[in-house]
Amino acid sequence: MATKTVSLEIKRQASPDAPSVWERFELPWRPGMNVISVMMEIAANPVTADGVDTTPITYDSNCLEEICGSCAMRINGKARMACSALVDNLEQPIKVEPLSKFPLVRDLQVDRSVLFENLKAVKAWVPIDGTYDLGSGPRVFPQQQEINYPLSNCISCCCCMEVCPQFDDATGFVGAATIAQVKLFNDHPTGKVLKEERLRALAGDGGIQECGFAQNCVQVCPKGIPLTNAISDISRDVLVQKAKDFLRG
Partner 1 sequence: MAAPRIIVIGGGLAGLAAVIKIAEAGGTVDLFSIVPVKRSHSVCAQGGINAAKDLKGEGDSTDKHFDDTIYGGDFLANQTPVKAMCEAAPGIIDLLDRMGVPFNRTPEGLLDFRRFGGTLYQRTAFAGATTGQQLLYALDEQVRRHESEGKVRKFEGWEFLSAVIDSKGVARGITALDLRTMELRSFAADAIILATGGNGALFGKSTNSVVCTGSADSAIFQQGAYYANGEFIQVHPTCIPGEDKLRLMSESARGEGGRVWVPRTAGEKRPIKQIPESDRWYFLEEWYPKYGNLVPRDVATRAIHKVVYEYGLGIDGQPMVYLDLTHIDRATLNRKLEGILEIYEKFVGDDPRDVPMKIFPGMHYTMGGLWVDFNQMTNIPGIFAAGECEYQYHGANRLGANSLVSCIFGGFISGPNALKYAKNIAAQEGDGGHAAEIARQAEINAKLLKNEGTENPFKLWRELGQTMTEHVTVIRYNKGLKQADEKVVELLDRYKKVNLSDRSQWANTSFAFARQLKNMLELSRTVALGALLRDESRGAHYKPDFPDRDDEKFLKTTKASFTGSPEGPRFEYEEVDTQFIKPRPRSYTAAK
User: 178 to 197, contacts with partner 1 by CB under 8 A?
Assistant: 185, 188, 190-191
Please say whether the beta carbons of 10 and 25 come within 8 A.
Answer: yes
For residues 14 and 29, the answer to whether their CB atoms sit within 8 Å is: no
Cα separation, 97 vs 46, in Å, equals 18
CB of 228 to partner 1, least distance (A): 21
> Which residue type occupies 191?
G
Site for partner 1 in 30-89 (CB under 8 A): 30-34, 36-37, 40, 43-46, 53-56, 58, 60-70, 83-84, 86
Figure out which of the listed residues 152, 209, 215, 232 binds partner 1, where binding follows CB under 8 A.
Answer: 152
Contact status: 14 vs partner 1 (CB under 8 A): yes
116 contacts partner 1 (rule: CB under 8 A): yes
Which of 197/213 has CB closer to partner 1? 197
CB-CB contact of 157 with 99 (8 Å): no
Q: Which stretch binds partner 1 (CB under 8 A): 140-148, 164-172, 200-208, 230-238?
A: 140-148
**DSSP characters over 66-106:** SSS-TTEEEETTEEEESTT-BGGGS-SSEEEE--SSS-EEE
Taking residue 76's Cβ as centre, other Cβ atoms within 10 Å add up to 14
Is position 145 an interface residue for partner 1 (rule: CB under 8 A)? yes
Q: Determine which residue in the list 6, 119, 180, 211 makes contact with partner 1, applying CB under 8 A.
A: 119
User: Considering the rule CB under 8 A, would residue 109 count as an interface residue with partner 1?
Assistant: yes
Q: Can residue 130 be called a binding residue for partner 1 (CB under 8 A)?
A: yes
Residue from 2, 4, 77, 139 touching partner 1 (CB under 8 A): that is: 139
What burial letters (b/e) apply to 173-198, b meaning 16+ CB within 10 Å? Answer: bbbbbbbbbbbbbbbbeebeebbeeb
Among 113, 213, 214, 245, binds partner 1 (CB under 8 A): 113
- Site size with partner 1, rule: CB under 8 A: 71
C-alpha 150/C-alpha 168 separation (Å) is 26
β-pairing, 104-106 vs 5-13, is unpaired
Which of 48, 76, 156, 232 binds partner 1 (CB under 8 A)? It is 156
Specify whether the CB–CB gap between 161 and 176 falls below 8 A: yes
Given 5, 15, 20, 100, the residue binding partner 1 (CB under 8 A): 15
Least distance from partner 1 to the Cβ atom of residue 196, Å? 17
